[in-house]
Amino acid sequence: MGRVRRWDAVPRQDGRRFVVTGASGGIGLETAKVLADRGARVTLAVRNAAKGEQAAAQMAGDVEVALLDVSSLESVRSFADACGEVDVLVNNAGVLGLPFSRSVDGFELQLATNHLGHFALANLLLPRITDRVVVVSSRSHLTGDLDLDDLLWERRRYQPYAAYAASKLANMLFLAELQRRLTAAGSTLRATGAHPGSTVTAITANTGSPLKTLVGRYGHPLVGMPAAQGALPTLYAATMDVPGNTYVGPHGLGEMRGWPTAVGRSQRALDPDLAKSLWTRSEDLTGVRFPF
């Protein structure tokens, strides 16, 4: 791989509409802010309207706030029903390391938020998407494992960070299988992915572990990138002309810091049979199917 150069020159996006989930803070907020500045029409799809309005007030340009709780299938369907044509959907919202809890639909909450809700949202919106779906994952997918027979943690002893890593692996498998299905259907749409490396956001400062929350809140800012730089891989995946199933992350050591470049993924994330099986299971759980 050649030398990676600094990249923060997001091209103009005039006349294009982006939906960014979880856009009231962190990577989502910074992603939406740059897109609006570059001329896009941006929908901040957020769980908390007040926080969404506060985020919108920080942005110049054509920005709207819409309610969306991706952990709730009812909320996902309501948002999708009201959403018009979209050029790019950025599946960004996420939670990390939470104590065991279930979503309103009865799913383990990290899987519900990080994967199942976004799976349903993307498939519901696909007929109205003109360009691409961007899947925001994490380096944590590298340690992720999926037990398809106990996907919702009904029998195993719950481990918050193992559940998070599993949900991020699910993101990667979704990315690959979505692109495979789009290609097989003859669609010109594409799916791309990104991860922010080591980036300082609220997600690492509000976990279910007091120790990890302490480290995230006070230690992470000493080594992590600011959110504005951590958002660059997502912006690259959302705006640059890259092939479907491209996965973008920071170029530096361990993909922790640096500028956007195409990066690799775990062997599990490359398993086509696991991807297809997870897709089938996700369809069964959400009741949402591939529309093409």
- β-pairing, 260-262 with 247-250? antiparallel
First to last CA, the chain: 36
Could you tell me the two tokens for 41? 């029409």
Could you tell me the two tokens for 92? 């960004």
Looking at this protein, which amino acid is placed at residue 172?
Answer: M
Enumerate residues 6+ apart whose C-beta is below 8 A from 60.
36, 37
Q: Which of 158, 161, 164, 247 is catalytic?
A: 164
For 89, phi then psi, to 5°, come to: -105, 125
CA-CA distance, 169 to 286, in Å (whole number)? Answer: 18
Q: Is 100 helix (H, G, I), strand (E, B) or coil?
A: coil
Q: Is 2 helix (H, G, I), strand (E, B) or coil?
A: coil
CA-CA distance, 57 to 16, in Å (whole number)? Answer: 20
Structure letter (DSSP) for residue 126? G
Q: Is 289 helix (H, G, I), strand (E, B) or coil?
A: coil
Looking at this protein, which amino acid is placed at residue 49?
Answer: A
Is 164 one of the catalytic residues?
yes
Burial class of residue 168 (count of CB atoms within 10 Å of its CB; 0-12, 13-18, 19+):
buried
Cβ atoms of 124 and 74 closer than 8 Å:
no
Q: Which has the closest alpha carbon to 139: 179, 59, 193, 70?
A: 193
**Beta bridge partners of residue 248, listed in sequence order:** 194, 262
Q: Which residues are catalytic?
A: 164
